[in-house]
Structure 1
Amino acid sequence: MLVSKIAELRKRANLTQKQLAELIGVTESTIRNLENNRNGIELLARVAKLCTALKCTAQDLVDFEEEEKI
């Protein structure tokens, strides 16, 4: 099985699956599923394409602070 890009980046950051899970507030099994191309990897790919098309970051899509200031 090919190592997913998420696993590659996690290892490059010297993080375990458990450490990454704690950092982002999910379970270790969620990280394992993402790394094994299950549970939402297609959604992540769509978000990446959406960000490319809109020339924004994923954070821009969920950052509601700006809306509250308007």
Structure 2
Amino acid sequence: MKQASFSNEEFAKLKEAQANSDDLVKSETIAMNVVKGRFVDDAGQFTKQGKPDLKRAADLMELVNLSV
């Protein structure tokens, strides 16, 4: 891309797009685990077990859609 003379603004947009994509993947991972009844522990792992919560997962994804 540097050889193709991408501007700093274009690189900034690529960085922003990557960050948005990473955030979406994180949100989707959380939602899918909530559907399975797995929740995040203090270490950021999905080791806490609970009741699967389809509504909570749907609400998480709706929030993501609203923020895009």
Fold equivalence (TM over 0.5): no
The TM-score, its normalising length taken from structure 2, stands at: 0.29
Higher strand share: 2
- Larger gyration radius, structure 1 or structure 2: 2
TM-score relative to the length of structure 1: 0.28
